[in-house]
Amino acid sequence: MRSALGAGVGGVQHFLLPFPSFRIANYSFNFCTPHKRTPTIGFLRCTAMATVIPAPVVQVKERIELTVTERNIFDRLLGTLRHFGLSNQLRVAGGWVRDKLLGKECYDIDIALDNMLGSEFVEKVREYLLSNGEQVQGVAVIPSNPEQSKHLETARMRLFDMWIDFVNLRCEEYSDNSRIPTKQKFGTAEEDAYRRDLTINSLFYNINTNTVEDFTKRGIADLKSGKIVTPLPPKATFLDDPLRVLRAIRFGARFGFILDEELKEAASCDEVKDALAAKISRERIGVEIDLMISGNQPVKAMTYICDLMLFPIVFSFPPEFEPSKSESCDRLCNAYLDATWNLIQLIGGSIFSDEQRRLSLYATLFLPFRKTIYKDHKAKKIPVVNYIFRESLKRKASDSETVINIHSAVDKFLSLIPFLASDGDIELIEVDWGRGLDDVPPTSKLRVLTGLLLREIKDFWRVALLLSTLLYPTDVDYTEDFLKQHFQLDKRKDLFKAVENAITELVQVLRKCGM
């Protein structure tokens, strides 16, 4: 396939097709084309996108309502306490409490113990179940591993087909340049609450008393007012664990909550940004970014990253690359992400699988970098997007390969779109895809070229087409004025649908021909 398509710089195939004018339905596809500008570097605050966000209206339940399964689980845990005469307070920590108060179901139950290791308590639960003739479904102990930022031993037990985690309440101290604790000890519930990342995640549900405990005196209030606030002063909280900056952004985007002003000031200060770059592994950063991209509000999350000037920290580049500079690239990346997200909603997100949607958002976020390359230690030219995935975010190689393939297909689609979307004279097509097309009749070239492209991009052809419609009719570095305008998404939706239908019909023809 590679030899048939031909290769260009960095392994990208090139072809040339004229752009005829065309009209679909009642829309004339004449998109605004800003003048081309010389690329220069800059990661600028996204002031064009940053708007004053009104306080959300949040419905918070007065008490936690347990499901039948949750009730059965908690009854067995309380039965264990009675059976052995234990005085432990059993508390469900963090996200489960938050989600239950918001009326959302949560299947991630973490039990915090006040004076016992999780493995010790799990063993007693096992003994209690066996004494009652009940089946023990599964037990596991995950040891601590400070080098991978896992500082607490976690015991897991499967009860009523749900895995439950058991940990002890914690109180840790850290050195200035590492997330490996220098001192650990059993903590109180209040100490544990204050060392949490956010007040909305610091709530406990006391199983013994069937009550919600708010030791920071802010958790429930901030949940009701839709605010993202840290239990302790934000700068100290972020310097203790800089990853909390990204967690604050993720939860703010997920729930549509407002980031506290003092929190934003701390998150954007140089000291915290330096700590995020130096103390947190790229793997942990990559996990948080992937959760944002896969979440329900990826645009809001990336806007926060842009506004707080964290883009160059999160998406680090190799020391040297070319083109070396692209002005306001964080703003441009976010503009494409916003347009793609809205276009997906217009078209209907059901046409994409979860994986296609996730990788389409990565592909559009990095669209301005698709022609940017760097040289590895062997002087081989590599797409910068590969570096961002493999080194900056430490994501799997297949994600990088898929996004790079999407970018390559985008360039091909840009030249095929006018012919697929119109009844124009397809004999005008002249291409430079390398050898292998000389004997193809002019009237068959469109079908052949489209077939080759579909074979190359496979299930992601709709994703590549989606991104192509945002770039069409020409690929330029957009000016800041353009970012303030609309992408004319209604017209681009119609363009996408027209080309999609043409390709679908073509595929049906090819299948009838046994191809």
Classify strands 27-28 and 181-186 as parallel, antiparallel or unpaired.
unpaired
Q: In the chain, which residues fall in CATH 3.30.460.10?
A: 59-225
Q: In the chain, which residues fall in CATH 1.10.110.30?
A: 233-309
pLDDT at 438: 61
**What's the angle, vertex CA 312, arms to CA 310 and CA 313, rounded to 5?**
65
Whether domain 233-309 has CATH 1.10.110.30: yes
One digit per residue, the tens of pLDDT, for the chain of length 515 reads 333 333 333 333 333 433 333 333 333 444 444 443 333 334 444 543 444 566 678 899 999 999 999 999 999 999 999 999 999 999 999 899 999 999 999 999 999 998 889 999 999 999 999 999 998 888 888 765 444 444 467 899 999 999 999 998 876 655 555 545 544 567 899 999 999 999 999 999 999 999 999 999 999 999 999 999 999 999 999 999 999 999 999 999 999 999 999 999 999 999 999 999 999 999 999 999 999 999 999 999 999 999 999 999 999 999 888 876 566 788 889 999 999 999 999 999 889 999 999 999 999 999 999 999 998 888 899 999 999 999 999 999 999 999 999 999 998 898 888 888 775 545 545 555 554 566 666 667 778 888 889 989 999 999 999 999 998 875 445 554 554 455 688 889 999 999 999 898 887 876 776 65
Cα 470 from Cα 160, distance rounded (Å): 49
Q: Residue 257: which of 209, 289, 224 has the closest Cα?
A: 224
Spell out the residues 6+ positions from residue 281 whose beta carbon is closer than 8 angstroms to its own.
Answer: 148, 149, 394
The CATH superfamily assigned to 59-225 is Beta Polymerase, domain 2 (3.30.460.10)
Spell out the residues 6+ positions from residue 170 whose beta carbon is closer than 8 angstroms to its own.
Answer: 151, 152, 184, 186, 187, 191, 192, 195
The burial class, CB within 10 Å (0-12 / 13-18 / 19+), for 183 is exposed
Q: Check the CA dihedral 64-69-71-75 and report its sign.
A: negative
Write the DSSP assignment of 427-457 as a string of letters. Answer: GG----S-SS-TTS-GGGHHHHHHHHHHHHH
pLDDT at 262: 98
pTM exceeding the 0.85 threshold for the entire prediction: no
